[in-house]
Chain A
């Protein structure tokens, strides 16, 4: 069946990333509406390991490009393989997670195809006449744009956490088709050689379903432990405002906002953060926002669903304790 949906999967250490499952689930919904199939391209030695999971979420075919050297990211090779797969499958839509990888590969592949690319969508629609329309945040989250494109294909990245993961019952495993990378390793001029991991394997703010962030209201780096404790109790990741990152209390990887990460978790808890426009840019699309601040006039309260006016040193530990108590009682 020509003219299907192609998804670029992200497999790391034989594990599928959740945002990939969001993209495959979304592709399945679009494919059902359009009456077409879903192909998934996976790169690296564990490309075919996750076939069953991909199938359960909607993949009909898995293009497995399982060369060992593709274990780590190689921008030219990944973009070349994706563009080639899009041509071969005559894809009408190409989707990927709006992760560091997806947002780096898709534009380069789009350039190879002279096609349009929609970045970091919060919503997507595709119509039978070839128009793909999406909703995305622009001007650092201060406006929302509806954008559309009608090139063949249209490429799009999906903001992590903005689309549901949906497993379907009774689906068969996808057909696994070997796929050759169009670029030989010696022709690649840049590639990842290693990953440096932080000491503890922490949840990343951009992917976590719950984020607890701390700001200057914490007064000092030692008090960040309070934020960690609440994040642990909730099963979330630790975020931070730029003020405290600049002060060196936590690494930049934790920064939320315009010059940090843009997050859309189900729950965002801002503790001792005033709510500067550049911080709001990174978190205002969160589903539920809680703010804890002692200043009733703090701008963060204007975006918070639940605002607690009070001293974070009192509130945050009690909050963590109450959550733990609740979880313990089931």
Chain B
């Protein structure tokens, strides 16, 4: 079983976000970058498939040179090799452009499975997986929490509103991962040492260059402006006798906030 896992290099979820001088992107100074959380689940699941069925796990990322650090991190977890489609402009490109760049690296691998995260921190869009599936002409199952593989077919379980949707399909296929029951493993010291020697290929985007996409019709999608969420001025604090506090709370919710 050959599995390609797409991992995105993103700001740590603990990072405090400040708006950059252009007003449309974040100020990255001092921000730690990591593998996007759902992509870590995807790597963990890929390693488990390889452990059970044999095969190879190949990591692919698209973006700036620094994304090599996240690829090394994934190699340290246990993946076999990695490919970076390197172009810093891809970090700010729309999902279709990023998916095209990823497709260029994934296609020649002819994998049995392609794994992505349900969505990537930052854009928080969750578009790249389904788009990549369309570009690669693969069936896909999105936001999957559990996957069963058989000879040439799969069953995927995804949580939807009020139920679990069970999908059946044929391989090869693309799966985007939700959180699963398997906490992503830590890289061991041995893993980290081994990762330094594993192959990490760097290539340039060809047809999917962001410049090309910005060509005659300009970008497909523009981030015009970035704002911090309206600081929710910590509201009213109620304290004291529990009976009185509750009565006052319910009165406020009914008369002031009008939500009950």
- Name A's B-contacting residues (CB within 8 A): 17, 72-73, 75-76, 79, 99-101, 103-108, 110-112, 114-120, 133, 136-151, 188-198, 201-204, 206-207, 210, 234, 252-253, 255, 258-260, 266-267, 277-278, 281, 284-285, 287-290, 296, 301-311, 314-315, 318-319, 322-323, 326
Q: A100 and B160: CB pair below 8 A?
A: yes
B contacts with A, residue count (CB < 8 A): 82
- The 19 listed contacts between A and B (C-beta, < 8 Å) are A17-B161, A75-B133, A108-B140, A143-B17, A144-B227, A145-B227, A189-B170, A192-B167, A195-B160, A197-B163, A284-B229, A288-B253, A288-B257, A288-B259, A301-B234, A302-B234, A305-B257, A306-B235, A306-B252
Q: What are the residues of chain A within 8 A of B235 when measuring CB–CB?
A: 289, 304-307
Interface residue B109 (Cβ < 8 Å from any Cβ of A) = no
Does B226 count as interface, using CB distance less than 8 angstroms?
yes
- The segment out of B55-63, B81-89, B123-131, B187-195 that lies at the interface is B123-131
For residue B69, give the distance in angstroms from its CB to the closest CB of chain A: 19
| CB atoms of B134 and A79 under 8 A apart | yes
CA gap between A192 and B159 in the complex, in Å: 12
* 10 more A-B residue pairs beyond the given contacts A190-B170, A303-B234, A315-B242, with a C-beta to C-beta distance below 8 A: A140-B13, A147-B222, A148-B222, A190-B140, A191-B168, A193-B167, A252-B159, A258-B121, A309-B239, A326-B260
Residues of chain A within 8 A of B257, CB atoms compared: 267, 288, 305-306
Q: Which residues of A contact B221 (CB under 8 A)?
A: 116-118, 147-149
Using CB atoms, name the residue of chain A closest to B99.
A111
Which residues of B line the A interface, CB within 8 A?
Answer: 11, 13-14, 16-17, 19, 26, 37-38, 94-96, 99, 121-131, 133-135, 138-143, 145, 157-170, 173, 179, 217-218, 220-229, 232, 234-239, 242-243, 245-247, 249-250, 252-254, 257, 259-260
Please state if B127 and A305 are interface contacts (CB–CB under 8 Å): no
In-complex Cβ contact of B224 among A133, A141, A196, A253 (8 A) = A133
Report yes or no: A302 in contact with B232, Cβ–Cβ below 8 A: yes
Contact B232 A73, beta carbon cutoff 8 Å: no
Q: Contact at A253–B229, with CB atoms within 8 Å?
A: no
A255–B37 Cα distance when bound, in Å, is 15
Which residue of chain B has its CB nearest to the CB of A188?
B139
Chain A residue contacts of B145, Cβ below 8 A: 252
Question: Which of B19, B164, B227, B238 touches A306 (beta carbons < 8 Å)?
Answer: B238
Bound complex: CA of A139 vs CA of B28, how far in Å?
12
Q: Are B250 and A260 touching (Cβ within 8 A)?
A: no
Contact of B162 among A75, A79, A202, A234 (CB under 8 A): A202
Contact status B139-A76, CB under 8 Å: yes
Tell me, in angstroms, the Cα distance from A228 to B141 when the chains sit together: 32
Q: Which residues of A contact B125 (CB under 8 A)?
A: 107, 117, 119-120
When the two chains form the complex, which single residue of B96, B223, B224, B234 contacts A304, counting CB atoms closer than 8 Å? B234
Give the nearest-CB partner of B128 in chain A: A107
What 3 A-B pairs are tightest by C-beta distance, nearest first? A190-B169, A190-B139, A189-B139
A136–B131 Cα distance when bound, in Å, is: 20
Shortest CB distance A294–B (Å)? 11
Q: How far is the CB of B133 from chain A (nearest CB, A)?
A: 7
Taken together as a complex, chains A and B put the C-alpha atoms of A311 and B241 apart, in Å, by 11
Tell me how far the C-beta of B202 lies from the nearest C-beta in chain A, rounded to whole angstroms.
26
CB closest chain-B residue, reference A319: B246
> If the complex has contacts A307-B236, A318-B246, are A138 and B163 also in contact, measured as CB distance less than 8 A?
no
**Shortest CB distance B2–A (Å):** 18
The one of B38, B133, B169 in contact with A191, judged by C-beta atoms closer than 8 angstroms, is B169
Report the Cα distance A290→B99, complex, angstroms: 40
Which residues of chain A are within 8 angstroms of B96 by Cβ–Cβ distance? 110-111, 114, 116
User: Are A140's CB and B224's CB within 8 A?
Assistant: no
Tell me how far the C-beta of A211 lies from the nearest C-beta in chain B, rounded to whole angstroms.
12
Report the bound CA distance from A304 to B232 in whole Å: 7
Nearest CB on A from B31, distance (A) = 10
- Check A201–B130 contact: CB distance below 8 A: no
Residue B159 contacts which of A103, A133, A137, A253 (CB distance < 8 angstroms)? A253
Would A107 and B95 be within 8 Å (CB), given that A234-B260, A302-B234, A310-B242 are in contact? yes
Given contacts A145-B226, A146-B224, A322-B246, contact A197 B126 (CB under 8 A): no
Cα–Cα distance between A204 and B160 once the two chains are bound (Å): 9
Complex contact B17–A139 (CB within 8 A):
yes
B17 touches A142 (CB 8 A): yes
Q: Are A104 and B162 in contact (CB under 8 A)?
A: no
> What residue of chain A has the Cβ atom nearest to residue B246's Cβ?
A318
Please state if A116 and B94 are interface contacts (CB–CB under 8 Å): yes
Contact of B161 among A106, A111, A133, A206 (CB under 8 A): A206
Q: Is the CB of A107 within 8 A of B131?
A: yes
Q: Is the CB of B161 within 8 A of A204?
A: yes
Q: Which of A190, A258, A303 is B167 in contact with, Cβ under 8 Å? A: A190
